[in-house]
Structure 1
Amino acid sequence: MLDRGVRAELRSLSKLTADVVARHLVAAGQALDHDPRSALAHARAARAKAARVGAVREAVGVAAYHAGEWAEALTELRTARRISGDPRTLPLIADCERALGRPANAVRVLSDPDVGKLDAETRVELFIVIAGARRDTGQPDAALAVLARGGIDLDRPRPGAARLWYAYGDVLEAEGRREEAAKYFAASAALDPGGELDSADRAAALL
């Protein structure tokens, strides 16, 4: 039930320890959405037996993030990255900084040399977090500029466009640009047939 890469990392442990750690990681993953505290407890238990495994430290970081334990999440995510070199958790790292009241630190994550290695959707998530940090410091124009880097041409949606355009519309609405905001919310809704976002409702409220 674990990703192949995670299983490969666990091979550095004894078979018995690897089995125990794997069970905790699976349990953490299953509980993450509905019971993040339980997920965090399982992830911490895995860390107690395999603190040098990057996937384990990442699991603790992700569980701590979902449980709102921002300082622990930040420490664990940074440790996981040092071990594995994988930059995919940069959006979470930036969001932890923001949650800890350090938006300037969040913005600095965008200058990380590994940002260019992120896949398109993960990069969009990072842009959304950085835009939020810019808004935290009263810089809506800078927030729009960051989001624009993810692609705001409504005729050319890129991966992650539904969430990006939603965030863009949110900033526009906050700045009183209601007509433009409605267009981006409507475009976001068109890419979100399952209705995971409330884009359609946001668009309707502005028309």
Structure 2
Amino acid sequence: MADQRRSQRPSGDGPRRGGRPSGGKPQSGGKPASSRGGKPAQARDGKPGQSRGGKPAGKGAPPRRGGKPPARSGPREQAPRSAEQAVYDGPDLPADITGAELDRAVSAQLKGLPEKLANRVARHMVAAGMLVDDDPETAYQHTLAARARAPRIAVVREATGEAAYAAGHYAEALAELRAAKRMNGATAYLPIMADCHRALGKPQEALKLAKSPGVANFGPEAKAEMTIVEAGARRDLGQLDAALRTLELAPLQSKSRSSWVVRLRYAYADTLEAAGREQDALAWFHRTHAIDSDELTDAAERAELLEKHQG
């Protein structure tokens, strides 16, 4: 996963709901005619309003006398962009983004594209990676522009799915990540896909993904993320005891101070509180805070609130 496309992981107490203005539903994997050569589509020979032979459109149109075009009364007004063209153009690209910033493993997957087209796609993906944390909606629009140009490249669909997820467009994120998975067979997207199902009110679908065969081969971080989502789905269904059992099977006592351990402990403390076990929840919020040096969670504040409530 490229550093420029930092994925937004599922939250411990529920799916990440952006609440940001929608960027519109992306096209379902299709590409506009303009994506073939990296240029906007034009009428047949490149001049709007003319036939193939370059003559004025319309049957029996008289020739112009003197061979000179008629004088224009004023500057030609540009037609407003269609919604599809606006998506294809994407947000403005900063001049200092060259595309060379893209991770080599990602840029290698763009090699099959024409050079200029590959560069434009790379620049949009770099911009998306830079913005995804602070302005996920604009990041999403950048990935849509990349996808409009290269819809058959898995890493582009992956980036679009991750940005859609960060921006709170869960149905679109699910569709894009499914497309990427069909293209490359990767299972790394399963935790985010499962969390999208939760956000869409389908916890049972999330549980199905949590039981996918590929999950057994996950590394510790990805497995922890799927465990958090699975427990959250159980909570969605009102199954608090099952949610606690799911988390208790995870390495809560790990000596690692990695972010996935922090999030795992936080999810457990939060579920304990939801189950009415406030004393146990307090202890686990303290254990979470003890290793949360980057302040990824509000464990300290949650512990303080519980202490006040119990006092």
Q: TM-score range by the shorter chain?
A: over 0.9
Report the residue type matching 1:186 in the other structure: H
**1:173 aligned partner:** 273
TM-score between the two structures when normalised by the length of structure 1: 0.94
**2:223 aligned partner:** 123
Deviation per residue, 1:30-70 (Å, 9 max, x gap): 11111111111110110011111111001110111111111
The answer as to whether partners of 1:131 and 1:143 remain within 8 angstroms in 2 is yes
TM-score between the two structures when normalised by the length of structure 2: 0.64
How far residue 4 of structure 1 moved from its aligned partner, in angstroms, is 2.3
Taking every aligned residue pair, what percent have the same amino acid on both sides?
47
The answer as to whether partners of 1:151 and 1:157 remain within 8 angstroms in 2 is no
**1:157 aligned partner:** 255
Report the residue type matching 1:205 in the other structure: L
Q: Which has the higher contact order (CA 8 A, sep 6+)?
A: 2
2:116 is the counterpart of 1:16 = yes
2:306 is the counterpart of 1:206 = yes
State which of 57, 63, 68 in structure 1 corresponds to 2:163: 63
Task: State how 1:82-97 maps to structure 2 within 5 Å.
Answer: 82-97=182-197
C-alpha RMSD of matched pairs (Å)? 1.3
Q: Distance in 2 between matches of 1:3 and 1:109?
A: 29
Q: Distance in 1 between matches of 2:282 and 2:157?
A: 41
Deviation per residue, 1:88-122 (Å, 9 max, x gap): 11111001100111000001111111112322112
**2:12 aligned partner:** none
Unaligned runs of 5+ in 1: none
Task: State how 1:29-44 maps to structure 2 within 5 Å.
Answer: 29-44=129-144
The answer as to whether partners of 1:87 and 1:117 remain within 8 angstroms in 2 is no
2:244 is the counterpart of 1:144 = yes
The answer as to whether partners of 1:47 and 1:57 remain within 8 angstroms in 2 is yes
Q: Distance in 1 between matches of 2:188 and 2:288?
A: 24
How far residue 13 of structure 1 moved from its aligned partner, in angstroms, is 1.3
2:76 is the counterpart of 1:76 = no
Report the residue type matching 1:82 in the other structure: R
Moved beyond 6 Å, runs of 4+ = none
Q: Distance in 2 between matches of 1:114 and 1:106?
A: 14
Report the residue type matching 1:35 in the other structure: D
Q: Distance in 2 between matches of 1:116 and 1:30?
A: 32
Q: Distance in 2 between matches of 1:145 and 1:7?
A: 42
Deviation per residue, 1:142-170 (Å, 9 max, x gap): 111221232123xx335521110110000
The answer as to whether partners of 1:61 and 1:73 remain within 8 angstroms in 2 is yes
Report the residue type matching 1:157 in the other structure: K
State which of 95, 98, 116 in structure 1 corresponds to 2:198: 98
SS in 2 for 1:114: helix
SS in 1 for 2:106: helix
The answer as to whether partners of 1:124 and 1:150 remain within 8 angstroms in 2 is yes
How far residue 138 of structure 1 moved from its aligned partner, in angstroms, is 0.4
Unaligned runs of 5+ in 2: 1-100
State which of 151, 154, 158 in structure 2 corresponds to 1:51: 151
More helix, by proportion: 1
